[in-house]
Amino acid sequence: MATLQPERVRILITLSVGYGTNDPSQQLFFAQARAYWYQWYFGLERCRAALEEDRRGLCRQLWETWSLGRLFDDEEFEEMARYFENTNFVEVSIHSYRHRWGDAPGDPAYGALEARLASPPHVAVPTTLLHGADDGATLLETSGGKESYFTAGYTRHVFSGVGHCVQRERPEAVVDAVLERATAG
């Protein structure tokens, strides 16, 4: 939305996401490829079977990897895990990662749009990125040095002791970033 219809977006706050990491033809640096192991695992039928047989186990492993085991306690995990029982959970999860890497078709109605977004385009909306220094999924290098893509400004905050889920690990930082951008004019 911020790249295609920037007039409809006043500010953009992003959490733990590198810019330009969604092109299936890109070359990733090796440490990031290792951190994305799960994304390629989702490309295997073995992963589909693992999700069907043990959704909680696989998702718990992912969450612990992404945030160094600090994201949740057992009770919080079980509360969230009930959503894994959605009848579409496995198919949506599998298709999402396979499509991201060009191994599953998208909706043909969005083909031209996806091609435009793969480049990556410039963002003409004031943007703040919040990134955990200990993110086990999306490494810091994916969000650093990206200022040239953000024509209305790019601010990057890195939080030590925080993993992939900034909104759970440092919720006050998310609120502060939104307020800072929203009141900046």
Please tell me whether residues 99 and 152 are part of one structural domain.
Answer: no
- Give pTM, 2 decimals: 0.87
Please tell me whether residues 87 and 147 are part of one structural domain.
Answer: no
The two three-digit tokens of residue 108, written as one number: 């043909």
The two three-digit tokens of residue 72, written as one number: 């949740």
Task: Render pLDDT for 87-117 as a digit per residue (tens, 0 to 9).
Answer: 999 999 999 999 988 899 999 999 998 888 8
Domains in the chain: how many in total?
A: 2
Domain limits for position 84: 30-119
